[in-house]
Structure 1
Amino acid sequence: MSLLRGVVAWGALALAIAVPLIAAAQSPLLQWREPLYVIAGFSGIIGLALLLVQPLLIIGVLPGIPARRIHIWTGTALVFAVVVHVAGLWVTSPPDVVDVLLFRSPTPFSVWGAVAMWALFATAILAAVRKQLGLRIWRFGHSVAAVVIVTGTVVHAWLIQGAMENVTKGALCVIVLGAGAWALYRRRVWRMIR
């Protein structure tokens, strides 16, 4: 039975990530874009996909791997994906990225993306000083930042009319939100406040 659960869990994860990526790769909007812009865009999609992997790792529903260690490596990959996403967009359109980073952009999706990015960087800093903070403070701070990251990223992705196809993008966004909420519930984060 556990083998079947593992196959189903890994299969569902692969499907949830692969279908939106394949749909985005077939977008007609990519035909006239520079390769660097496409790489930056797909780094964002991969970042969204990694946000699905993270909570599943931490609550242990992906069997057969050292979940905690992979969670750390996936977090590092997520930071890298965001850096590639922003750097690629910076090279293709520096004024737009400056406006986003300084919260001057007129597009709402930019604000959500910037908030999620800064929360992700704050989480990376928290991870670096984890031992000095203590487990209780670390878990609470990490969980609050995760809520901001997931919410900001999902809203950012949803508002962008780009290469991602709407149905598969919407499905991935809902699954990411659901996985994040499930992880918060399973970890009972709110009990750490008392």
Structure 2
Amino acid sequence: MILIWLALAAAVCVPIAAAAASPLLAWRDPVYILACFSGIVALGLMLVQPLLIAGYLPGLAAYRGRRTHLWTGGALVVAVVIHVGGLWITSPPDMIDALLFSSPTPFSPWGVIAMWAIFSVALFAALRRRLGVRPRTWRIGHTLLAIVIVVGSVVHGILIEGTMETISKAVLCALVLAATIKVMTDLKVWRRRAKLREESIARQ
């Protein structure tokens, strides 16, 4: 049990520590540095999220894992807001180009798409009971948006050549992808959807 938690801590903290030792930070102001590290923290939280919802982390009961998943999702939104807000403060023209999908940098569109998907999940989660969204609809919508978030964030991170150290960044991105695929496979999200579709067709 302790080894699993240590491995998770290493997967998240090693990239942060490696980025902290980057010589590129010497010429950056504090707001830009805060924005960069918020992005790294957000990527680390994406590794934690699927592990929580699937109950893979020892010592956390299923209910507690789901509740922690909600709080971690809120922390992810905050990290993304700080990341985007900090970059906006340091370079508004670049952020405007990114938000308008007119930036020449190839990593920008992926980050923007992932950002809007994260905000959409948060809004969906906050309003789903008020709107009367059924659990099945929530599960499918959440899953689709989660795929967009993970793919967009991983591609965004891999394409950026910045403060993150290459190997630790690649390992973290690979772990985020692997954890997401593993959870979706184990929870049989798509099989459940296909079964429900078949049952609906059979009733018609």
What is the TM-score with the length of structure 1 in the denominator?
0.95
> Does the 8 Å CA contact 1:9/1:61 hold for their aligned counterparts?
no
Secondary structure in 1 matching 2:43: helix
Distance 1:75 1:108 in 2: 27
Question: Could you give the per-residue CA deviations for residues 89-141 of structure 1, whole angstroms, max 9, x where no partner exists?
Answer: 00000010011111111111000000000011111111012221110000000
2:48 to 40, 53, 59: 53
Distance 1:45 1:14 in 2: 14
Is 83-92 or 129-138 further displaced after alignment?
129-138
4+ aligned runs moved over 6 Å, structure 1: none
Report 1:27-176 matches (<5 A).
27-65=22-60, 66-131=64-129, 132-176=132-176
Secondary structure in 1 matching 2:56: coil
Report 1:13-28 matches (<5 A).
13-28=8-23
Secondary structure in 1 matching 2:70: helix
- For 1:3, the equivalent position in structure 2 comes to none
Secondary structure in 2 matching 1:133: coil
Is 58-67 or 39-48 further displaced after alignment?
58-67
Distance 2:72 2:116 in 1: 17
Distance 2:58 2:67 in 1: 13
Distance 2:101 2:173 in 1: 24
Count of aligned positions:
189
Tell me, which stretches of 5 or more residues in structure 2 are unaligned? 198-204
| CA shift for structure 1 position 183 | 1.0
| Paired AA for residue 116 in structure 1 | A
Is 40-49 or 127-136 further displaced after alignment?
127-136
Secondary structure in 1 matching 2:107: helix
> Does the 8 Å CA contact 1:116/1:150 hold for their aligned counterparts?
yes
What CA RMSD, in Å, does the superposition of the two structures yield over aligned residues? 0.8
